[in-house]
Amino acid sequence: MTRPFEGIRIIDVTHVLAGPFAAYQLAVLGADVIKVEHPAEPDQTRDSGTDRALNRLGMGTSYLTQGSNKRSVTLNLKSEAGRDILKRLVERADVMVENYRPGAFAALGLGYEDMQKADPQLIYCSISAFGQDGPRGNQTAYDHVIQATSGLMATTGTEEVNPIKFGSPAVDYATGTMGAFALASALFQRERTGRGQYIDLAMLDVAMILMSSHLTGYLRNGVEPKPAGNRHLHATNSCYAAREGLVMLGASNLRQQRRLWQALERPEMTKRTNEEREYDRDREAALLTHILKTRTADEWEVFFQARHVPAARVRSLAEAVDDPQFFNRGVTHRHRSAPGIEGGFSVPLAAFKLAHGGPSINTPPPALGADTAKVLTEHGYSPGQIASFREAGVI
């Protein structure tokens, strides 16, 4: 069954996480993604990750994460010949994605207006830290810097220890996901209008959207969210120490908190409104602290889930991966091998399934420049021209 983006070609001139992750999500849904890197200064994720041997091979786990289903081409865009090649690639593409400093590609004659001349129906996506305009438009940043700038760090941590950065580069991956959504939207729009599109995507904007309810509340009455750690506004929606391990309760709404107190044989603690829950929070928390120490976190998870009360033992990543539910969902894909890599490895696939034509991986992440000659041949370059480009350091 045909996947959603089969027949769509994407020129991926991005590096690190957000940009490559945006293109990757369309790649697993069938798009032909050509990843463009500098021959001497490749994507820094190639030497980043938990396996130093792979880092030295230019196949670091950070690169493997979002390199499947892509083809790798090297181009020196500082050279005129390299820029001409990129323009030819774009002429036969539907989408171009870049995530360099705002204005950098325009200065090279590779901005949206320039590339639109090569393909009037082109969808061009620029991903940056702060956007293409505004007082911070010329500044650069990574995930953790955006977490600091946006106020996201200030909402994370405990009352005693804050601000705290997220344990994963969540803003990067959220930006990539938002980028994939924007690209899909633009492609759908083009089907109706026949027009190309320019997408200006900023990591800061994504970070603010990740705090949407906090943002709405603050803009309404000026109340800033305070870091509360594992302590939620409602006691039945917080984390507690069990006899062994930690258990996170998720009795969020009034119906669920009623079930929780009935299950614990303390129906008198049930509240009729959320205001009542807030007012009585300390008393509820003290009681839950005492009760939950009588069983292990695993036992409480089974107990509450059987009674339709959301709850879970707090797990490590290793434990989460070992959970049968993880394997059942097919979130990752197992590569038996890849060029230059000994043994198999697994990479993220997608966070959703489709009844037909869903996300799938066909090819492993390519080595740097592995597809340069083939892609250039497809675009009309002769073996002699390709050899001269290589000799001149263009590819």
Active-site positions read 172
Could you give the maximum distance between any two Cα atoms of the chain, in Å?
Answer: 84
Contacts of 238 (CB under 8 A, 6+ apart): 230, 231, 232, 248, 249, 285, 288
Residue for token pair 């200030």: 154
Contacts of 151 (CB under 8 A, 6+ apart): 211
- Tokens at residue 51, please? 């396996």
Contacts by residues 275-280 (CB-CB < 8 Å, ≥ 24 positions apart): 277/233, 277/234, 277/235, 277/236, 278/233, 278/234, 280/235
Residue 144, Cβ neighbours under 10 Å: how many? Answer: 15
- Cβ contact 63:365 at 8 Å: yes
| Residue at 319: amino acid letter | E
- Pairwise CA distance, residues 361 & 213, whole Å: 36
Strand 9-13 to 197-202 pairing: unpaired
Strand 345-348 to 332-335 pairing: antiparallel
End-to-end CA distance of the chain: 36
- Pairwise CA distance, residues 119 & 93, whole Å: 8
- Pairwise CA distance, residues 87 & 92, whole Å: 9
- Tokens at residue 36, please? 């463009």
Helices marked H in the chain = 18-27, 52-56, 61-64, 80-91, 104-107, 112-118, 143-150, 170-193, 203-209, 212-221, 254-263, 274-279, 281-292, 297-305, 317-322, 324-329, 372-378, 383-391
- Pairwise CA distance, residues 284 & 195, whole Å: 58
